[in-house]
Chain A
Amino acid sequence: MAALTIDAAGLRKYYGNRAAVRDLTLQVLAGEAFGFLGPNGAGKSTSIKMLLGLVKPTSGRALLLGQPVGDRAVRARIGFLPEHFRFYDWLSASELVSFHGRLCGLADDILRYRVPRLLERVGLSSQQSKPIRSFSKGMMQRVGLAQAIVNDPEVLFLDEPTSGLDPAGRKLVREVIREERDRGATVFLNSHLLGEVEQSCDRVAFIRHGEVVGMYEMGAWQTDYTEVELDVGGASSSALARLATIEGIAVLAQEARRLRLRVPDEDSLPDIVRCLVESGTRIYSVVPQRVSLEDLFLRTMGPDPGL
């Protein structure tokens, strides 16, 4: 088993009687991209702040890279792009990334070469001398991303990194996440854009009311939830009864020519088709219905869990 980058057990944070995080218990493996999802007010940002040492937990314990969170040596090995990031907007992009590099302990010699490359990587080469106050939100996000990876972090925390970004910017973030993971870094991603998470992460955790209510390998839930929709003609009750004899198959709905089945996996589709054809059913189409991360999220959280 890979080493644990994040190991949190029973983390709780109360503000008076109000629980921001009730019981955060999760483990993140070294080198994986981990999605951290939940509705508004679920305690995601507070959880991230606790893992970064910005907020002290009321109780519980958490280790980051094997050390207690907040440890200074550990902070030298992490990068962080805050959700509502604000920077010194009177600095230029180049000055800001250099400033954060220096705060990481990087020497000026290194920063002289690294900063222009980072800004080139995030698409701000031509803007590096302009003050940040003249930047759009998307450009600010790109500068934020550059400062987060200036120290080649072992763990990269990204809190809503794609908010405010156009499609090209979102693609850039996905690329950076993939590159960081390929380099061996662990990426901890909090985002409301589930499509982005689905494309970027290896595992996801769902958090609700400050507790982890589900954790999945990306796509692994398809085994449990694969559904298939068929457009059929003349599906008799005997055909359906025969279909039900195949192990693991359940008829979810039948309406006019539409037949919806739950199947163990996509490998069982040829057997289903054969069974129906042998029963005299005419098949016009067979479409596996993949359960998206968003579907899974809504099933776990309910249709409107945030309010």
Chain B
Amino acid sequence: MIAQNVAFGILAAAMVVAALGVVRTNNVVHAALYLVVVLAGGAAQFILLGQEFVAWVQVLVYIGAVIVLFLFGIMLTRAPMHPDESLDNDLKWPAAVTALFLAGVLGSLLIDAFHRTKIDIRQPIRTAAVTNAVFRTYIIPFEVVGVLLLAALVGAVVLARKD
């Protein structure tokens, strides 16, 4: 148990530092790479909770596809390679206050909702359990995801068309 808590602390600290890096850096590619660290930390937290499947889905979809799209978009539009001062402005402190406020609200909400829930992490949750939940209990959201993806792809094509 102690080992898990220590690992959680280290990962959480790394995620916070990287998340600050995302908003602090003046280089868009560096920001995307910091975001990779944050998402990888999230995946590692899922593994600590015994949710292997969710963890690797996070890696596959977010790190392996979404951030790749970000970076690809940056490359395709030939964003400047060197730090861009215009990415910074004077609203640092209001932004920090807002972020802290948001973290406080979301944190207290989550603690209030789940503080009695305990996960037995000695027994990893099986992929089959997650899958059965997706394909039986949450079947409507699952099919809606399909329609959402359809909309996303058609939207991308429409944006890219000439006319």
Whether chains A and B associate is no
